Amino acid sequence: MDMHRVATVAYRGAPAFELAIPGEVFEQEALGGRYRHELVAGEPGALRTSSGWRIATDGGLERLAAADTIIVPGWRDLDEAPHPRLHDALAEAHRRGARVVSLCLGAFALADAGILDGRRATTHWAHASELAARHPAVEVDAAALYIDEGSVLTSAGVAAGIDLCLHLVRRDHGQAMANTVARRLIVAAHRDGGQAQYIERPVPPLTPSALGDTLQWMLGNLERPLELADLAARCHLSIRQFVRRFKDTTGTTPYAWLLEQRVRAAQELLEATDLPVEDIARRCGFGTAAVLRLHFGRNVRRTPTAYRAAFQS
């Protein structure tokens, strides 16, 4: 596969944490140089992070013309419009088909460039309503951890940027490669649910919960028919209450979560084995290959066979 150029845009007052994420992910040794990452100055003059570190860049905005993926980390001040040259460079990059990605408040810069109009997008939950108010044409989803609209991707607050960058690796090089990078970084290869879990419970409970155990059990038993009544009984809750608790912790409904996990399991089997699609469907809890294809297509936007051809090593 060709080497993929990733450019992260730096500017005065950029948060160091978010600025550092793309480099940490895309320059991982395990990726074997599949990406080349560089830091690009989004505005003239000396640049420092919000914490005062001096930023050394590889060049100016003209370098975006050669980038396949452009990443805009959190913007410093919502009351200040991005530099006009950055605005134009983003719009132009999008026009020529580059992949444009925002972390956290970077979504405001994308929206400003008109890239998010008519698309779904997310940002830090504390500023999601502001984004929606300023840009009515953008469909803001404050509950998502990140949103993939193909050539335009946005992520929620701060650390969700890691989830999004890992998602890009998964999209480009498959689940196994994303897992490897996640292991090296000691982060979850895929966090389930959306921002809800962080809003509702800033501090996750330290005691193991019956619901957590049940989630874990479900992951190990995806091939079984998992019904609400059984799952609820397993943690001694009514169905009604089970669904409520489930949504509080994962940000999604039991069935939607289950389908996502099953598709994910199917992806791994497609990559790692030569099993026929029909068998993989069974093993992952889909009644038939047809059902697998339906949900696989919705989640991955590819057919199982095409996915296997692209990622099987």
Partner DNA sequence: AGCTAGAGCCGCCATC
Partner DNA sequence: CCGATGGCGGCTCTAG
Binding site for DNA (CB under 7 A): 227-229, 237-241, 243-244, 247, 253-256, 286-288, 291, 294-295
Q: How far is the CB of 265 from DNA (least distance, A)?
A: 14
Residue closer to DNA by CB (options 148, 248) is 248
Tell me the closest approach of the beta carbon of residue 224 to DNA, in angstroms: 12
Burial 105-143 (b: 16+ CB within 10 A, else e): bbbbbbbbbebbeebebbbbbebbeebbeebeebbbbbb
When the beta carbons of 78 and 256 are compared against DNA, the nearer one is 256
Residues 6+ apart with CB under 8 A from 156: 104, 122, 123, 124, 125, 144, 145, 146, 194, 195
* Token representation of residue 301: 């936007």
CB nearer to DNA: pick between 106 and 251: 251
Could you tell me the CA-to-CA distances from 141 to 26, 102, 121, 192, 216 in Å, in that order? 26, 14, 6, 16, 27
Q: How many other β-carbons are positioned within 10 Å of the β-carbon of residue 250?
A: 20
Measured from the CB atom, the residue of 85 and 282 that comes closer to DNA is: 282
Closest distance to DNA from the beta carbon of 234 (Å)? 13
* CA neighbor of 115 nearest in space, from 76, 69, 151, 145: 151
| Closer residue to DNA (CB): 20 or 239 | 239
| Tokens read off for 16 | 């160091």
| Least Å from the CB of residue 44 to DNA | 48
> Least distance (Å) from DNA to the CB of residue 287?
3
**Measured from the CB atom, is 129 or 288 closer to DNA?**
288
Per-residue tokens: 29:
């040794």
Nearest to 99 by CA among 171, 30, 159: 171
C-beta of 121: minimal distance to DNA in Å?
A: 21
Q: What are phi and psi of 206, to 5 degrees?
A: -80, -25
